[in-house]
């Protein structure tokens, strides 16, 4: 019995000894399972959050290219909100690209060019047609009429090569035939530049990672929360008021050849190489524009002394420069040269004396020496809003090494400048071209495209259709509106930091109705198209119908699918008494976008020409369009149209239909005397 009990106890003991072993096996299995779940769960949660944020469209659609329906047809266009990806820290108005349209299904006869870069490529301070891409489009459309030419401006203010690199990769699926890039001035203070408020600290690799993560809504949410907290709890440094680039400039003073300068240069070279590699790997031609800036008439923004010179030498430098200023004021130019030259010998780094010396040498006719000192001063400006010669040469060298064509804008601008030194003749302030400068840019880009056969073989160019400069200027529809708007924008710009000014809170004061219209547009109180229509009305009031038509044609270039600007063009021909041109313009308007308004007005001309049948057809079509489309005639226009239709029928001898039309007109507007008079006449006639 004891033996049985002992055996039983042994079994029980044995069983108890085994249970912990089985428990450990289960625990390890669960632990492995829990580990896997713990690793996967955050990604599942992130995916759920991402899907939810996409569902509610958090931060909106920030894709570079979006679809847009215009006049019943769907197009691709550049997303005007795309810059919200990048400009989350600046605290300024987010820059917007142009809204150029292009085909969703690219036809075989379409040539598509994307123009990328900074504010100069965008065309600041001008819009649409008064930009380098706009002027380029005119030449290509003239000489390649067998193709549908699409020149899409993707230029964006306050961005550098990082953003261009990001955009290029996103544009590859949209079948580009050519990339044109102008970049280099914003490598320090542009978005993600080494001295920018909008930057990814931690090196280029982290910036590239950040740009990739910006495609995810979850990352945008985390970034926005971080930015909000940074702004409200941790920021103790006020932002600069003024220009967009002024508010972007975090590390404002960057010395020539400093570590930050060298870092920006390395990044620029790497980004250029990556942009070229991306384009070439997809067999897409690419060209770059050489950099231009104002070296003669724009002194350095910030001048820093050499760190190695003593305080005594700094004081001596100030006295010598002051003596030079005094001599120059007294028109003792040779003495001023001596003083300024001495100042450059005292302090090799301070760019102020170099620029002053350059101006004196320019007045003395020593132009090569002056140019050298102007460039030296520009390169050592510690507020880096203009690319140095290092960046310019890097761009040229990398393009040559990769056999990429360069549009030598620098040479073109120098040739068009007095004594081959770039100044205010073609550049408005420090680096943005005048409208004439943009015209020259467009021409130079075109020459490189044609010379290198980048779009079509040489034999496909229709050189017999080429125009002279006056012809292309007329085709551009650039007017005083564009020039004045640009001048006002620049006036507002140069009266703020970083430009030296003694006027606080500067405002532009319009001197006439036209200037008032343009200024309201610059202030954002009226959209561009409406402002140009208002300008056209003002010109028409002054009976300057050619100028009125130019304003409307400018709008038509921006929205070539719309009847509205062309209808106004035809109306101004009519008001001028030019019936033939008015008739042709109404036909062109109808061909562009069929509408009841142009047909009704064309019918009036036909009635005047005793073409009653043609008039009736136009009026009948007008009423059909009124019934079938979104374009509706007003009650007054409908009543008048029914009356005119009655006149057309009466002239054809169809008395019955003429009476019906006259009665219909009176039913719409009983006060329409012409319709009542017509009806009285028709009642005395036999049907």
Question: pTM for the complete prediction?
Answer: 0.88
Q: Measure the CA angle with vertex 437, ends 393 and 178; round to 5°.
A: 65
Q: 612 and 589 in contact (C-beta within 8 Å)?
A: no
Residue 51 CB coordination number (10 Å): 11
Contacts of 471 (CB under 8 A, 6+ apart): none
Indicate if the alpha-carbon torsion angle 68, 73, 76, 78 is positive or negative: negative
Q: Is 549 in contact with 477 (CB distance < 8 Å)?
A: no
What's the rounded Cα separation, in Å, for the pair 405 and 451? Answer: 10
Do 130 and 279 lie in one domain? The reply is: yes
Give domain status of residue 465, yes or no. Answer: no
Rounded to whole angstroms, how far apart are CA atoms 611 and 648? 8
Is residue 476 included in any domain, yes or no?
no
Asked whether the beta carbons of 563 and 595 are under 8 A apart, the reply is: yes
Alpha helices of 495-595 — where are they, by DSSP H? Answer: 513-522, 528-541, 545-558, 564-576, 579-592
Q: Which residues contact 76 (CB under 8 A, 6 or more apart)?
A: 65, 66, 67, 68, 101, 102, 103, 104, 174
In the listed set 56, 76, 102, which residue is the last one of a domain according to the structure? 56
Residue 132 falls within a domain, yes or no?
Answer: yes
pLDDT bucket at 44, cuts 50 / 70 / 90:
confident
Q: Are residues 444 and 490 in the same domain?
A: no
In a domain, 472, yes or no: no
Q: Are residues 411 and 268 in the same domain?
A: yes
Contact 347, 338 (CB under 8 A): no
Same domain, 486 and 595: yes
Structure tokens at 35: 């580990």
CB contact set of 259 (below 8 Å; sequence gap of 6+): none
CATH of residue 545: 1.25.40.10
Mean pLDDT across 464-476? 97
pLDDT at residue 3, as a whole number:
47
Sorted by sequence, the CB contacts under 8 Å of residue 340 that are 6+ apart come out as 320, 321, 324, 353, 356, 357, 360
Mean local confidence (pLDDT), 130-142: 97
- What pLDDT shows up at residue 133? 97
Across the range 106-114, mean pLDDT stands at 96
- What is the pLDDT, as a whole number, of residue 7? 42
| Number of domain units in the chain | 4
Regarding whether 94 and 197 lie in a shared domain, the answer is yes
pLDDT tens column, 284-317 = 999 999 999 999 999 999 999 998 899 999 999 9
Placement of tokens 């510690």 in the chain: 382
Are 466 and 144 in contact, with CB atoms under 8 Å apart?
Answer: no
In a domain, 471, yes or no: no
- Kindly give the pairing relationship between strand 101-102 and strand 65-70: unpaired
Whole-number Å distance between alpha carbons of 90 and 227? 10
pLDDT at 243 over 70: no
Residue predicted with more confidence, 603 or 51: 603
Pairing of strands 101-102, 73-78: antiparallel
Distance, CA of 624 to chain centre? 40
Cα–Cα distances (Å) from 96 to 113, 155, 495, in that order, read: 19, 9, 23
Angle, alpha carbons 216-279-193 (nearest 5°): 55
Residue 558 clears pLDDT 50, i.e. is over it = yes
Spatial distance between the Cα atoms of 519 and 535, rounded to a whole number of angstroms? 11
User: What's the confidence (pLDDT) of residue 87?
Assistant: 81
The share of the chain scoring above pLDDT 70, in percent, equals 89
Give the residue from 255, 340, 372 showing the smallest Cα distance to 302.
Answer: 255
Q: Does position 43 have pLDDT exceeding 80, yes or no?
A: no
CA distances from 645 to 340, 482, 550, 609 (A): 83, 42, 33, 15
CATH number at residue 185: 3.40.50.1110
The full length of the chain comes to 687
Mean pLDDT of 243-271: 84
Within 8 A by CB and 6+ apart from 204, the residues are 266, 267, 270
Q: Are residues 434 and 317 in the same domain?
A: no
User: Which residues, 6+ apart, have CB-to-CB distance to 379 below 8 Å?
Assistant: 256, 351, 388, 389, 390
Q: Examine the domain organization and report whether 280 and 204 are in the same domain.
A: yes
Please report which helix (H) or strand (E) contains residue 487, including its range: helix 480-494
Residue 14 is predicted with a pLDDT of: 42
Is 287 in the same domain as 410? yes
Which residues fall within 8 angstroms of residue 151, CB to CB, at 6 or more apart? 100, 113, 115, 133, 134, 136, 137, 140
Please report the pLDDT score of residue 11 as a whole number.
44
- Cβ–Cβ < 8 Å for 180, 113: yes
pLDDT tops 50 at residue 462:
yes
Residue owning tokens 């909100």: 81
- What's the chain's average pLDDT? 89
* pLDDT computed for residue 201 by the predictor: 61
Which pLDDT score is estimated for 94? Answer: 82
Q: Is the domain of 19 the same as that of 163?
A: no
Asked whether the predicted pLDDT for residue 17 surpasses 50, the reply is: no
Q: Provide the phi-psi class of 612: left if phi over 0, else alpha when psi is between -120 and 50, else beta.
A: alpha
pLDDT of residue 489: 95
- Distance from CA of residue 511 to its chain's centroid? 29
Give residue-wise pLDDT tens across range 575-590.
999 999 999 999 999 9
Per DSSP bridges, beta strands 65-70 and 406-407 are unpaired
pLDDT at 123 over 50: yes
Q: Identify whether residues 247 and 99 lie together within a single domain.
A: yes
Q: 391 and 375, same structural domain? A: no
How confident is the model over 143-184, as pLDDT tens digits? 999 999 999 999 999 999 999 999 999 999 999 999 999 999
* Residue from 105, 142, 175, 183 nearest 391 by CA: 183
**Helix, strand, or coil here: 239?**
coil
Residue at 415 is within a domain: yes
Residue 321 belongs to what domain range? 311-379
Question: Is the pLDDT confidence value at 199 over 70?
Answer: no
Q: What average pLDDT does this structure show over 541-565?
A: 95
Enter the tokens of residue 117. 């870069």
Question: 683 Cβ partners below 8 Å, 6+ apart?
Answer: 659
Residue 126 and residue 78 in contact, taking contact as beta carbons nearer than 8 Å? no
Question: Left if phi > 0, otherwise alpha if psi is -120 to 50, otherwise beta: which for 305?
Answer: beta
Residues 618-656: tens digit of each pLDDT: 999 999 999 999 899 999 999 999 999 999 999 999 999
174, two tokens: 């949209």
Edge to edge, the sheet with strand 178-182 lists 148-153, 110-117, 178-182, 286-289, 406-407
Q: Does residue 318 lie in a domain region?
A: yes
Query: Which of the residue ranges 221-235, 250-264, 527-541 would you say has the lowest mean pLDDT?
Result: 221-235
Q: Domain boundary residue among 353, 379, 405?
A: 379
Please, which pLDDT band fits residue 213 given cuts at 50, 70 and 90? confident
Residue 189: inside a domain:
yes
Q: Are residues 488 and 361 in the same domain?
A: no
- Asked if 667 contacts 635 with a C-beta cutoff of 8 angstroms, the reply is no
Contact between residue 75 and residue 68 where contact means Cβ atoms under 8 Å apart: yes
Q: Select from 347, 379, 411 the last residue of a domain.
A: 379
């Amino acid at each position: 019995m004891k033996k049985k009990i002992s055996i039983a106890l042994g079994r029980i003991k044995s069983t108890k000894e085994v249970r912990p072993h089985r428990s450990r096996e289960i625990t390890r299995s669960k632990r492995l399972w829990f580990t896997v779940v713990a690793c996967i769960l955050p990604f599942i949660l992130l995916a759920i959050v991402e899907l939810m944020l996409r569902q509610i469209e958090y931060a909106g659609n920030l894709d570079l290219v979006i679809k847009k329906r215009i006049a019943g047809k769907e197009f691709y266009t550049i997303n005007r909100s795309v810059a919200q990806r990048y400009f989350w820290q600046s605290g300024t108005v987010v820059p917007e690209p142009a809204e150029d349209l292009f085909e969703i299904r690219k036809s075989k006869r379409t040539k598509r060019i994307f123009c990328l870069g900074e504010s100069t490529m965008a065309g600041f301070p001008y819009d649409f047609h008064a930009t380098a891409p706009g002027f380029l489009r005119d030449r290509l459309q003239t000489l390649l009429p067998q193709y549908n030419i699409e020149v899409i401006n993707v230029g964006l203010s306050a961005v550098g090569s990082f953003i261009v690199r990001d955009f290029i990769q996103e544009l590859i699926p949209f079948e580009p035939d050519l990339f044109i890039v102008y970049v280099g001035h914003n490598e320090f203070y542009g978005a993600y530049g080494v001295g920018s408020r909008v930057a990814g600290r931690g090196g280029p690799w982290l910036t590239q990672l950040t740009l990739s993560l910006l495609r995810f809504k979850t990352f945008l949410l985390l970034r926005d929360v971080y930015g909000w907290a940074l702004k409200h709890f941790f920021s103790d440094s006020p932002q600069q008021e003024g220009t967009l680039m002024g508010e972007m400039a975090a590390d404002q003073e960057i010395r020539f050849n400093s570590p930050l300068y060298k870092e920006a240069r390395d990044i620029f070279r790497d980004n250029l190489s990556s942009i070229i590699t991306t384009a070439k790997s997809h067999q897409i031609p690419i060209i770059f524009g050489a950099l231009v800036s104002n070296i003669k008439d724009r002194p350095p923004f910030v001048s820093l002394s050499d760190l190695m010179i003593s305080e005594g030498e700094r004081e001596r430098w100030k006295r010598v420069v002051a003596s030079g200023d005094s001599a120059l004021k007294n028109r003792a130019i040779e003495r001023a040269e001596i003083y300024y030259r001495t100042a450059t010998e005292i302090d090799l780094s301070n760019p102020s004396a170099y620029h002053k010396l350059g101006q004196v040498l320019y007045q003395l006719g020593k132009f090569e020496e002056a140019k050298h000192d102007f460039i030296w001063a520009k390169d050592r400006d510690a507020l880096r809003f203009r690319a140095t010669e290092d960046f310019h040469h890097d761009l040229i060298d990398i393009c040559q090494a990769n056999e990429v064509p360069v549009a030598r804008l620098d040479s073109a601008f120098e040739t068009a400048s007095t004594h081959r030194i770039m100044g205010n003749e073609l550049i408005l302030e420090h680096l943005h071209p005048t409208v004439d400068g943009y015209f020259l840019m467009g021409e130079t880009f075109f020459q490189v495209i044609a010379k290198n056969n980048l779009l079509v073989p040489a034999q496909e160019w229709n050189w017999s259709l080429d125009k002279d400069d006056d012809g292309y200027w007329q085709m551009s529809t650039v007017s005083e509106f564009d020039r004045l708007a640009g001048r006002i924008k620049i006036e507002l710009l140069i009266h703020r930091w970083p430009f030296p000014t003694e006027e606080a809170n500067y405002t532009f004061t319009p001197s006439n109705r036209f200037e008032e219209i343009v200024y309201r547009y610059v202030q954002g109180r009226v959209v561009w198209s409406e402002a140009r229509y208002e300008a056209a009305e003002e010109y028409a009031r002054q009976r300057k119908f050619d100028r009125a038509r130019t304003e409307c044609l400018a709008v038509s270039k921006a929205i070539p699918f719309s009847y509205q600007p062309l209808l106004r063009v035809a109306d101004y021909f009519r008001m001028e008494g030019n019936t033939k041109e008015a008739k042709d313009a109404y036909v062109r308007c109808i061909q562009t976008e069929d509408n009841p308004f142009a047909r009704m007005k064309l019918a009036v001309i036909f009635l005047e020409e005793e073409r009653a049948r043609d008039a009736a057809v136009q009026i009948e079509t007008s009423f059909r369009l009124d019934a079938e489309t979104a374009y509706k005639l007003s009650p007054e226009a409908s009543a008048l149209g029914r009356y005119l239709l009655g006149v057309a029928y009466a002239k054809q001898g169809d008395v019955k239909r003429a009476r019906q039309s006259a009665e219909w007109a009176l039913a719409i507007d009983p006060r329409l005397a012409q319709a009542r008079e017509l009806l009285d006449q028709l009642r005395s006639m036999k049907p």
